[in-house]
Amino acid sequence: MAERAVPRVTRLLGIVSFLERNGETSFADLAAQFDVSEDQIRKDIATLWVSGLPGYMPHELLDFDADLYDAGIASLTEGQGVTQVRLSARESVALLGALAAMSATGAAPDVVNSAIAKIKAAVGDEAIATISPARVDTEVVSALHSAIATRSAVTLDYTNARDQRSVRTVEPHRIVTIGDAAYLECWCRKAEDYRTLRIDRIATVTPTGESVEHPPSDEGGFSLAPVYEATVRAERDARRVFEDLPGVEIAVDGDHIVARFGVADEAYVAARLLTVAPHLASVEPAALRAAFAASARSVLASLN
């Protein structure tokens, strides 16, 4: 299917603005700047070349240097005042919303905040007023950033969702944020496999002086693959627990909600369910129900 009109005309305006500002540019560089093929850039320039003011006489059209065009270089000789337009409200919030959400996890590098500041200054709109980052340990976060940057293995003091504490040496690759939480993607030398660890469960980061040896996972992050699908029916007061689960679908049924979500970490989900137990009507499948019951029995056993 042909590219839709709005993305294309936005790029057409952009190419003219870019050339006005940066002077002659090779098709290859324009292709990289706008993330399209060189062939598309060639078509875009051809379209610009025949566009202009009503009348469409030669002096009313945009114009490019023909010799340079044949050499694969865009050189604008007449722009007819064409310029890129500012960000729309939807575009601003799509951009700022994504960056603000990443920043609010508390684990994004400072460059995210400096990009937000520059965009806000250019947009002149304070629509996204405040970002309150989650309370993650800033020492942990900056130690992870510098370990990733220097490709250095680190030893972590890590407590998993079942409250099992371990000391493990990992090769850190990347930080990923999913909704409100930040994770470290790494190769774990103890497990001899790729792991995605929640950053707010890392207590300390100690440099080892050793280098990262394993390449990043091909999975492209987000390797918290669900093991099975769960369905929980609950009173609507329980909603808060479900709405943070990645990929959750919440349907409303009178005074109840029905939440469907993938379970990657059974013990963690079971413990979360415990926090809204008085509001639950049913938990499916049996595997999750068993984990949920086991976690409730451990709580009762501790009281004796």
User: Of 219, 228, 175, which is closest to residue 198 (Cα–Cα)?
Assistant: 175
Residue closer to other proteins by CB (options 117, 191) is 117
Shortest Cβ 115–other proteins spacing (Å): 4
How many angstroms separate the CA atoms of 299 and 275, rounded? 12
How many angstroms separate the CA atoms of 151 and 49, rounded? 48
Shortest Cβ 208–other proteins spacing (Å): 18
Residue closer to other proteins by CB (options 170, 271) is 271
Residue closer to other proteins by CB (options 25, 205) is 25
How many angstroms separate the CA atoms of 249 and 243, rounded? 8
Residue closer to other proteins by CB (options 7, 227) is 7
Residue closer to other proteins by CB (options 70, 255) is 255
How many angstroms separate the CA atoms of 206 and 183, rounded? 18
Shortest Cβ 286–other proteins spacing (Å): 9
Beta partners for residue 256, in sequence order: 235, 253
Q: Is 12 helix (H, G, I), strand (E, B) or coil?
A: helix
Shortest Cβ 282–other proteins spacing (Å): 7
Shortest Cβ 169–other proteins spacing (Å): 18
How many angstroms separate the CA atoms of 289 and 286, rounded? 5
Shortest Cβ 69–other proteins spacing (Å): 18
Helices (H), 150-264: 239-243
93 and 127 in contact (C-beta within 8 Å)?
Answer: yes
User: Of 24, 21, 22, 40, which is closest to residue 32 (Cα–Cα)?
Assistant: 40
Residue closer to other proteins by CB (options 22, 191) is 22
Number of C-beta neighbours around residue 128 at 10 A: 18
